[in-house]
């Protein structure tokens, strides 16, 4: 498991709808903020890159210092963004694919308004379990 | 590192611009900007200033196309250790700028200037420009070296002058460069960089250094060629330098020469940027970067590092490539440059690097990336802990706010704001989900909070209270749910502290707390309703206002322009109210110093209000104001003075926020978390202000409380109407609405009419007569209870009271005005005066019964009139006053079949009632009574009913008999009988009933039961139904006379006329007395007369018979024990009585035994017609009609 990882789901309207610090390192508030800043800035890169490939997994697209941003774009242009400091690309890809399945289950919920925050605790638990498994 | 580097930087001549003496900063900037226009001086323009002293080393100088470039450094710069490596880092020229009015002594100026430029060792050319000299300074012709006076003139002339001066400087510089190059070529110059080892060189290194020196010299000469604007010469020198540097492995200088050659290439190919050049540049610069990296020497890495050059080269390449199409490449370059920041030792280098990266990302259109690096810059500034750094940090952060969507309102341009309001006005209420989402696009609350907090911190450090206030306000307003109560308190303190440093009355574009939303626009109270006036109609108010009970009427739909938006009309000078809801979702007490409506249109005086909101609370308050002039009113929101600063809170913002909360896009709904009910979308209606209208106010004289009436009570109420407006009332109309409208008997409309026009301030009082309506069963049940007040409240609540609708209007305005624009008729108004009537149960009617009474008549000498008495109501009775009229019975006529209506009344109330019954008589059609007022009323003494008692009131029904039996009452009956003789009279019965009902109604309407309680409480008892029910069965007997009336009298000669006069006077004495006077003596032949009156209009033939009975009822004429002997005919008397006439028949009786006898006349009518049959209710047509008279008593005196 990586020491630092921050996972965020960004809706097509660029609103973060799910945030999780999934790293094993001790959580520091300013670090968490920096993670979000880096991820937010990486959206600019994703915005261009997403249209250049048909793959959903865009691999590592951006970095700041030793933090790498990997992105997975769904068909509905929801972006799964992972900030990490490891280089385990296969694990990250599997992680994204599994989270995508979970996300689709959330979308199928008729009470969930697409684009609004994901508040399901079940989703949160599952995502954290996946992070432990793959990252 | 240097800011703003690009590939072309290598060919720019750096000139320091220094203020000499005291130059105001604005002027300095102005002069600097004038200089900036002359960054490029074409070589062709300087040839006149140029003199070739010796052979120019720049053999290929492009005199026609080339140019010199300048870089003006305001304030100068400290010398760089890398000046030898890159001559463009040297300050090669100094321009002093002097503002003559502030430094009059030119000698002093020159001294200062000389001192200034001597600080720069590398300066080749120096000039001091003195602007706007005075006359004395111009006259001072003393020649001063390097001082140029700019004669005062207009700007264009000054610029021309400046251009000339710059051309002069350029030429001088060019000549200096030639000198330098010639010198450098001949004599070996030693060029060193901080990279070169300072330690003593070993012999091997000395040889190496000699070789290197040549390469370095060639590179430097190339640099000067570039500065001199000769790229071809530069290129030639660079090629040599590259060869030599490669041989000596002098990578750093190799990279430098390569950089120079790229610059020479670009300058040479000025303007043309094809792919080939781009590729060439990219290739060479990558090599530059690689060689700079190679030149990294581990041993002196602590002291100095070529890293900055590597980064600069990266930035130069990035800037060169910086286009949207190459975004990926540029982003990679910039990312790698950012990676280098870790290894930079100098903080200011890091700062410059991040600034440049941010700028380049910004140019690329990567706003978020730019914001990210800008924030890094700001953090570096904040680390410096001084005020100027804090100001810079604040400014840099302010630039990031757009990307993070936390920008202050002030930074959003006015144009976009006005657009926003325009569009916001059009699409009201329902917004599409997508558009709602777009409002909250890119809302990264964590980042936004961090950025705002940093802005707050930097603003506090920078000492900018307004920026601090604004940041704290934005932070508190948008992110209160994410901030702990302690943090919220801290922000509130920050707001207050900032406000203390601000002058009072400071405005800020960003609202803080509270949240304000529109609660409702109250419509006009019913007192001030505005009604559209239709000048074409007499009833101008009709159809304009939904006056009916229905909220929706299909008819009004078509008329109103189908604008879904509510429209409001306000009137100049009349205060209006708007309800708004405030919410304070934070954990501290919020005191709003003043809040008032913010009206854009400026024709509204708003009244401020101050409110205190406890933590986590919401409150609905009423904001009021007065419209001041005609036109539309646009209410955007509220202006709030809170935390020491005035802000405008727009309703639309909060509406959007609430919408977002409903969609789950925003963290929390501030109103719901304060316990306020669900979101109600209230849109601001379009409000228009119209000129003043009259205003009628009403009050009920004697207090506006409920008018308490007993059932049936009739009372006058005075309503006072006053014109409180400023316009006279010219038209007025009163109508009624609501339930129980019939309880208003009359309105003195004329009083009001005659008072028109009602001037402002004038009053008029109109009486209204009310009558308490009947309570229904359910109502009376509750009303009967002791709680009179409870029932009063209920009556008011359920709105059973009627209302007066007063439509009124002012003058119509000029006739011309109306013609020009038809819609400009000033509207009228409607005043609703609810009559708060509370009806209490009064006297209650228990039941009605019909009683009959029979008093036999006495036979006397009187000419007992057999005609119906009610047709001759006591007009002849001279001596009677009406008060005394009780039921008077003519003793000689008796009152056979007299009927009384008995009303049983109860008084459940707490007061005493007096009942008086009056019977109104109709004028009868008899000719002989014309002179008499027949419509007289019979008054009867009052009956008093105590509280909680019952009483019975008797109403005699003696005066209702018709004068004669007429066929008219049976007319329908006759018809039907005539046509369908054989049939049963089912059909006719129905007709009869209708006739009957009509006549009963007529009868009943004449009976009035009035009551009085106390002095001024009187009314009428409504018991018509009960009376009708009681009379229903026997109305025929009450109304119709018998066809024949019989009478007896003593036939005494000669006394007839006298008795007729005397008799009425005596009739109120006792019957005994009369009897004794007109006594009959036994054993005496007494003549009698039987009178038969025909009450019909046809002659009746009959068979009359008279019988006499004694007290026991036995027939005393016939039989074995007959005690009376008679003379004349007593039975089987055939008579014919003409219509409405009387016929006499005389006979004599001889009473053998004294005592009481009864005379009865009876007749069998021959050939009875249908009228008679109907009256007699005979079943078949051949049945004989038998008429019987009432018994007459005869008192026989004497001894047996």
Token pair of B1020, please?
A: 């009428």
d(CA B122, CA B1009): 129
d(CA B959, CA B937): 11
- Show the beta-strand stretches assigned E in B498-551: 507-508, 515-520, 529-531
d(CA B335, CA B88): 27
The neighbour count for residue A8, using CB atoms within 10 Å, is 24
Q: Residue with structure tokens 């009323």?
A: B937
Give the one of B375, B438, B663 whose C-beta lies nearest to A37's C-beta. B375
Q: In what order do the strands lie in the sheet with B12-20?
A: B40-42, B67-74, B12-20, B91-99, B125-131, B147-149
Beta bridge partners of B1089: B1049, B1146
d(CA B587, CA B614): 8
Token pair of B128, please?
A: 């001091």
d(CA B128, CA B137): 15
End-to-end Cα distance, chain B? 167
* B437 in contact with A, Cβ within 8 Å: yes
Q: Which of residues 36-55 of A touch B (CB under 8 A)?
A: 36-38, 40-41, 43-45, 48-49
Contact B71, B13 (CB under 8 A): yes
Contact B836, B796 (CB under 8 A): yes
* Alpha-carbon B144 to chain mean position: 79
Instruction: Kindly identify which residue of chain B lies nearest to residue A66, measuring between CA atoms.
Output: B339
Asked if A14 and B438 come within 8 Å (Cβ–Cβ), the reply is no
d(CA B638, CA B583): 13
> What is the model's pLDDT at position A100?
92
The neighbour count for residue B236, using CB atoms within 10 Å, is 18
Contact B446, A36 (CB under 8 A): yes
Give domain limits for chain A.
5-134
- Show the beta-strand stretches assigned E in B739-885: 744-747, 763-771, 802-809, 828-834, 837-840, 844-855, 857-858
d(CA B822, CA B571): 19
Asked if A15 and B444 come within 8 Å (Cβ–Cβ), the reply is yes
**In which element (H, E) is residue B1071 found?**
helix B1071-1077
CATH fold of the domain at A5-134: Beta-Lactamase (3.30.450)
DSSP annotation of B1152: S
Closest CA to B163 of B27, B36, B72, B267: B36
Q: How far is CA B1032 from CA B491, B948, B1172, B1183, in A?
A: 89, 30, 21, 27
Q: Which residues of B touch A117 (CB under 8 A)?
A: 664-665
Q: How far is CA B159 from CA B152, B597, B702, B910, in A?
A: 12, 53, 89, 108
d(CA B460, CA B470): 11
Q: Which of residues 316-335 of B touch A (CB under 8 A)?
A: 327-328, 331, 335
DSSP annotation of B965: B
Asked if A15 and B441 come within 8 Å (Cβ–Cβ), the reply is yes
Token pair of B895, please?
A: 């009152």
Q: How far is CA B952 from CA B441, B846, B955, B1008, B1031, in A?
A: 87, 10, 10, 15, 17
Asked if A19 and B443 come within 8 Å (Cβ–Cβ), the reply is no
Q: How far is CA B1118 from CA B1046, B1113, B1126, in A?
A: 21, 12, 10
> What is the model's pLDDT at position B1034?
65
Contact B784, B778 (CB under 8 A): no
Contact B790, B779 (CB under 8 A): no
d(CA B1034, CA B879): 34
φ and ψ at B496, to 5 degrees? -65, -45
d(CA B822, CA B535): 9
> What is the model's pLDDT at position A65?
81
Classify B741 as helix, strand or coil. helix
DSSP annotation of B442: T
Closest CA to B574 of B786, B425, B724, B677: B724
> What is the model's pLDDT at position B982?
41
Beta bridge partners of B613: B590
Asked if A45 and B369 come within 8 Å (Cβ–Cβ), the reply is yes
Ranges of residues in chain B whose predicted pLDDT is under 50: 414-431, 556-564, 779-797, 818-819, 864, 867-887, 923-936, 969-985, 1054-1076
What is the reported pTM?
0.65
Instruction: Kindly identify which residue of chain B lies nearest to residue A49, measuring between CA atoms.
Output: B328
Classify B839 as helix, strand or coil. strand
Contact B811, B732 (CB under 8 A): no
Residue pLDDT, tens place only, B833-889: 777 777 777 777 777 777 777 767 767 665 545 544 443 333 333 333 343 444 455
* B339 in contact with A, Cβ within 8 Å: yes
Closest CA to B802 of B836, B839, B766: B836
Contact B747, B698 (CB under 8 A): no
d(CA B123, CA B417): 52
Asked if A44 and B665 come within 8 Å (Cβ–Cβ), the reply is no
Closest CA to A17 of A110, A132, A129, A102: A102
The neighbour count for residue B1083, using CB atoms within 10 Å, is 13
Asked if B339 and A65 come within 8 Å (Cβ–Cβ), the reply is yes
* B354 in contact with A, Cβ within 8 Å: no
CB pairs under 8 A between A and B: 71
Asked if B335 and A63 come within 8 Å (Cβ–Cβ), the reply is yes
Asked if A44 and B444 come within 8 Å (Cβ–Cβ), the reply is no
Classify B188 as helix, strand or coil. coil
| Domains by residue range for chain B, with CATH | 7-186 (3.40.50), 508-550+564-690 (no CATH), 696-809 (2.60.40), 844-1039 (no CATH), 1044-1197 (2.60.40.10)
3-state secondary structure chain A: CCCCEEEEEECCCCCEEEEEECCCCCCCHHHHHHHHHHHHHHHHHHHHHCCCCCCCEEEEEEEECCEEEEEEECCCCCEEEEEECCCCHHHHHHHHHHHHHHHHHHHHCCCCCCCCCCCCHHHHHHHHHHHHHHC
Asked if B663 and A116 come within 8 Å (Cβ–Cβ), the reply is yes
Closest CA to B848 of B918, B915, B903: B903
Contact A11, A17 (CB under 8 A): yes
* A117 in contact with B, Cβ within 8 Å: yes
> What is the model's pLDDT at position A88?
81
Token pair of A133, please?
A: 């498994």
Q: Binning pLDDT at 50, 70 and 90, where does residue A101 land?
A: very high
* A32 in contact with B, Cβ within 8 Å: yes
Chosen for mutation from A6, A8, A9, A15 (greatest number of chain B CBs closer than 10 Å) is A15
Classify B105 as helix, strand or coil. coil
Q: Which residues of A touch B443 (CB under 8 A)?
A: 15
Taking CB atoms within 8 Å and a gap of at least 24, the contacts of A55-58 are: A56/A96, A56/A100, A57/A92, A57/A93, A57/A96, A57/A97
d(CA B226, CA B220): 10
């Amino acid at each position: 498991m990586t020491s630092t990882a921050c996972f965020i789901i960004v809706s097509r309207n660029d609103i973060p709808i799910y945030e999780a610090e999934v790293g094993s390192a001790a959580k520091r508030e300013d670090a968490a903020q920096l993670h979000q800043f880096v991820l937010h800035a990486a959206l600019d890169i994703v915005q261009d890159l997403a249209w250049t490939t048909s793959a959903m997994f865009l691999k590592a697209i951006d970095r700041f210092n030793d933090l790498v941003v990997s992105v997975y774009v769904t068909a509905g242009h929801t972006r799964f963004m992972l900030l990490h400091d490891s280089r385990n690309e296969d694990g990250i890809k599997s992680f994204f694919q599994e989270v995508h399945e979970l996300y689709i289950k959330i979308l199928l919920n008729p009470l969930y308004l697409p684009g609004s925050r994901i508040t399901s605790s079940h989703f949160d638990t599952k995502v954290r379990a996946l992070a432990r498994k793959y990252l | 590192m240097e800011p703003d580097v690009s590939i072309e930087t290598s060919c720019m001549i750096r000139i320091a611009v220094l203020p000499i003496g005291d130059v105001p900063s604005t002027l300095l900037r102005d002069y600097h900007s004038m200089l900036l226009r002359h960054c490029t001086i074409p070589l062709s323009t300087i040839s006149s200033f140029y003199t070739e002293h010796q052979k120019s080393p720049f053999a290929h100088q492009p005199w026609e196309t080339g140019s010199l470039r300048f870089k003006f450094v305001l304030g100068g710069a400290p010398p760089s250790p890398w000046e030898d490596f890159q001559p463009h880092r040297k300050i090669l020229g100094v321009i002093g700028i002097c503002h003559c009015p502030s430094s009059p002594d030119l000698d002093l100026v020159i001294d200062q200037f000389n001192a200034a430029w001597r600080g720069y060792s590398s300066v080749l050319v120096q000039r001091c420009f003195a602007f706007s000299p005075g006359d004395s300074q111009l006259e001072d012709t003393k020649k001063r070296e390097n001082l140029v006076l700019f004669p005062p003139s207009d700007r264009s002339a000054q610029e021309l002058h400046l251009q000339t001066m710059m051309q002069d400087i350029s030429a001088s510089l060019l000549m200096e460069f030639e000198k330098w190059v010639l010198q450098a070529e001949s004599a070996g110059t030693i060029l060193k960089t901080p990279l070169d080892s300072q330690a003593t060189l070993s012999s091997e290194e000395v040889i190496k250094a000699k070789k290197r020196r040549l390469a370095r010299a060639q590179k430097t000469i190339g640099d000067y060629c570039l500065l001199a604007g000769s790229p071809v010469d530069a290129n030639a020198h660079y090629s040599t330098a590259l060869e030599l540097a490669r041989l000596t492995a002098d990578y750093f200088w190799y990279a430098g020469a390569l950089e120079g050659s790229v610059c020479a290439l670009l300058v040479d190919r000025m303007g043309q940027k094809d792919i080939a050049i781009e590729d060439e540049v990219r290739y060479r610069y990558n090599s530059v970067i690689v060689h700079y990296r190679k030149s990294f020497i581990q041993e002196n890495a602590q002291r100095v590092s070529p890293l900055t050059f590597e980064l600069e080269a990266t930035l130069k390449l990035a800037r060169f490539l910086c286009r949207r199409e190459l975004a990926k490449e540029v982003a990679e370059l910039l990312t790698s440059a950012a990676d280098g920041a870790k290894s930079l030792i100098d903080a200011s280098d890091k700062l410059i690097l991040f600034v440049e990266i941010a700028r380049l990302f910004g140019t690329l259109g990567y706003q978020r990336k730019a914001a990210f690096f800008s924030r890094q810059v700001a953090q570096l500034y904040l680390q410096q802990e001084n005020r100027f750094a804090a100001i810079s940090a604040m400014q840099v952060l302010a630039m990031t706010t757009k990307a993070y969507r936390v920008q202050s309102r002030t930074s959003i341009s006015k144009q976009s704001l006005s657009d926003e309001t325009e569009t916001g006005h059009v699409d009201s209420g329902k917004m599409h989900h997508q558009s709602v989402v777009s409002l909250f696009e890119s809302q990264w609350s964590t980042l936004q909070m961090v950025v705002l907090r940093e802005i707050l911190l930097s603003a506090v450090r920078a000492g900018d209270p307004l920026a601090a206030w604004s940041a704290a306000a934005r932070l508190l307003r948008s992110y209160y749910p994410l901030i702990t109560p302690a943090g919220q308190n801290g922000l509130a303190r920050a707001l207050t502290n900032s406000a203390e440093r601000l002058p009072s009355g400071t405005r800020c574009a960003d609202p803080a707390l509270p949240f304000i939303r529109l609660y409702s626009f109250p419509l006009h109270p019913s007192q001030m309703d505005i009604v559209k006036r239709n000048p074409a109609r007499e009833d101008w108010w009709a159809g304009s206002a939904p006056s009916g009970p229905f909220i929706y009427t299909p008819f009004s739909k078509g008329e109103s322009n189908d604008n879904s938006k509510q429209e409001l009309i306000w009137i100049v000078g009349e205060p209006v109210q708007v309800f708004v809801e405030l919410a304070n979702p934070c954990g501290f007490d919020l005191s709003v110093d003043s809040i008032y409506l913010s009206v854009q249109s400026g024709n509204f005086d708003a009244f401020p209000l101050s409110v205190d909101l406890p933590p986590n609370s919401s409150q609905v308050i009423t904001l009021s104001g007065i419209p001041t002039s005609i036109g539309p009113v646009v209410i955007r929101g509220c202006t709030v003075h809170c935390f020491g600063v005035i802000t405008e809170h727009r309703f639309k913002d909060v509406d959007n926020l609430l919408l977002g909360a409903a969609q789950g896009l925003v963290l929390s709904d501030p109103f719901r978390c304060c316990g306020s009910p669900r979101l109600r979308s209230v849109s601001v209606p379009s409000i228009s202000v119209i000129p003043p209208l009259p205003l009628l106010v009403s009050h009920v004289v004697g207090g506006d409380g409920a008018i308490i009436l007993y059932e049936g009570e009739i009372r006058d109420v005075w309503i006072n109407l006053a014109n409180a407006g400023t316009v006279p009332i010219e038209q007025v109309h009163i109508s009624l609405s609501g339930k129980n409208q019939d309880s208003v008997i009359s309105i003195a409309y004329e009083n009001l009419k005659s008072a028109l026009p009602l001037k402002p301030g004038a009053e008029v009082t109109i009486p209204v007569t009310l009558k308490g309506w009947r309570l229904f069963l359910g109502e009376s049940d509750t009303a009967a209870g002791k709680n009179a007040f409870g029932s009063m409240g209920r009556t008011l609540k359920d709105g059973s009271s009627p209302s007066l609708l007063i439509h009124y209007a002012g003058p119509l305005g000029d006739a011309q005005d109306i013609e020009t624009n038809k819609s400009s008729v000033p509207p009228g108004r409607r005043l609703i005066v609810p009559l708060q009537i509370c009806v209490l149960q009064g006297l209650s009617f228990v039941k009605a019964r019909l009683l009959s009474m029979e008093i036999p008549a006495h036979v006397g000498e009187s000419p007992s009139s057999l005609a119906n008495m009610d047709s001759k109501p006591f007009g002849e009775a001279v001596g009677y006053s009406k008060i005394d009229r009780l039921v008077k019975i003519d003793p000689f006529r008796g009152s056979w079949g007299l009927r009384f209506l008995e009303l049983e009344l109860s008084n459940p109330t707490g007061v005493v009632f007096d009942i008086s019954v009056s019977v109104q008589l109709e004028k009868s059609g008899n000719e002989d009574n014309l002179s008499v007022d027949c419509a007289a009323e019979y008054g009867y003494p009052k009956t008093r009913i105590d509280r909680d008692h019952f009483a019975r009131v008797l109403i005699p029904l003696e005066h209702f008999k018709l004068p004669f039996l007429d066929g008219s009452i049976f007319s329908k009956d006759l018809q039907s009988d005539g046509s369908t003789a054989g049939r049963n009279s089912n059909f006719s019965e129905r007709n009869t009933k209708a006739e009957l009902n009509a006549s009963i109604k007529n009868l009943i309407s004449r009976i009035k039961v009035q009551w009085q309680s106390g002095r001024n409480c009187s009314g009428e008892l409504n018991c018509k139904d009960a009376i009708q029910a009681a009379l229903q069965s026997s109305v025929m007997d009450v109304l119709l006379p018998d066809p024949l009336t019989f009478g007896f009298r003593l036939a005494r000669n000669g006394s007839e006329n006298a008795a007729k006069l005397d008799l009425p006077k005596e009739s109120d004495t006792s019957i005994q007395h009369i009897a004794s006077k007109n006594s009959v003596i036994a054993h005496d032949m007494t003549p009698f007369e039987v009178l038969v009156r025909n009450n019909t209009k046809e002659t009746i033939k009959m068979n009359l018979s008279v019988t006499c009975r004694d007290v026991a009822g036995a027939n005393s004429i016939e039989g074995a024990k007959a005690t009376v002997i008679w003379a004349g005919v007593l039975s089987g008397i055939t008579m014919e009585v003409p219509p409405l006439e009387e016929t006499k028949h005389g006979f004599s009786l001889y009473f053998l035994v004294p005592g009481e006898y009864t005379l009865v006349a009876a007749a069998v009518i021959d050939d009875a017609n249908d009228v008679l049959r109907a009256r007699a209710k005979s079943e078949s047509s051949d049945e004989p009609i038998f008429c019987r008279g009432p018994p007459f008593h005869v008192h026989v005196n004497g001894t047996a």
